[in-house]
Copies of this chain bind each other. A is one copy, B any other.
Amino acid sequence: MDIRNVVVAGGGVLGSQIAFQIAYKGFHVTVWLRSEGSIGRAKPKFERLKGIYLNTLEAMKTNPAAYCRGLAPSPDLSAEQIDELKANVGRAFDGIVYTTSYEEAAKDADLVIESIAENPQDKIAFYTELAKHLPEHTIVATNSSTMLPSAFAEYTGRPEKYLALHFANEIWRNNTAEIMGHPGTGAEAYDETVAFAEAIGMIPLKLRKEQPGYILNSMLVPFLSAAEALLATDVADVETIDKTWMLATGAPLGPFRILDIVGLTTAYNIGSMDPRSKDPNTPQGKIAAMLKQYIDEGKTGINAGEGFYKYGK
């Protein structure tokens, strides 16, 4: 694998996590942002991540449950080894370069990970401008959750080196990376990206072809929708539905605990893509109305302290 210099475009929740994890694993990271204002908004996210990484590593010295797979390949670490990892956190934080310049970001890039807003026009504009400055060998990957790489391949100037590399939230703990090409992605760029995912502590999950929602959301969305429908049509209550799933499958969380983590706004936005959600008499319409009521009451999930369940502060 020849990747050393990585550009992450976007400093949102996921973008900042991706950039920080890659820097933590020893790569040189440049964060590209649209404006100085974006840099100002992104930097506190990196401060916070530094704290999370340091605190988690410190906790791993005494508490086996604190172990996060993205931080080290094995939980069996001496205090000295953990202190070395903590030094990596400091180096990662200090080493990240921020820029608003396409030229500066692109010039030495071996890999660019696009994690900007989920807006096709923004993505097309970004790829088109980026392509003017990138070296020929650079691989470009999108972290988009909702759009397919085939929609943007032509704008990258390197369709055979363009693909999706999709991360989960809390990357240091949920260390999966779904890797998905479009029909024109070359095997070399695909394999290189798989190797890179492993090098930054991720478990690569390989898709053989394009699939809206990748692997996880292709299963999670219909499962969660079915649970939402049972509640929205008043078949059973939250606790009964969760209990049924947990007892029958041995899962640690039922669908409404998962929805509280995903966030009800995200669930509402996904549900609203279904045209049936506009008709209040369909199950989809009843789900939308139910989620909207929770959201209007501020019950958007675990981050808000309340969703389908209440959470202690």
Contacts and interface: CB of A to CB of B under 8 A. Distances in A.
A55 to B, nearest CB: 22
Interface stretch (A110-118, A140-148, A213-221, A303-311): A213-221
Contact of A223 (B215, B226, B230): B226
A222 B208 CA distance: 22
Contacts of A99: none
Interface string A239-277: 011011101111111010010000000000000000000
A218 B240 contact: no
A211 interface: yes
A176 B244 contact: yes
A77 interface: no
A124 interface: no
Nearest to A175: B247
Contact of A240 (B215, B222, B236): B215
A119 to B, nearest CB: 26
A244 B208 contact: no
Nearest to A211: B235
A249 B248 contact: no
A223 B219 contact: yes
A208 B220 contact: no
Contacts of A39: none
Contacts of A226: 218-219, 221-223
29 contacts: A168-B248, A174-B247, A174-B248, A203-B243, A203-B247, A205-B244, A206-B236, A208-B235, A208-B236, A211-B230, A215-B235, A215-B236, A215-B241, A215-B244, A216-B245, A216-B248, A218-B226, A218-B230, A219-B223, A219-B226, A219-B244, A219-B245, A220-B248, A222-B222, A223-B223, A223-B226, A249-B252, A249-B253, A250-B251
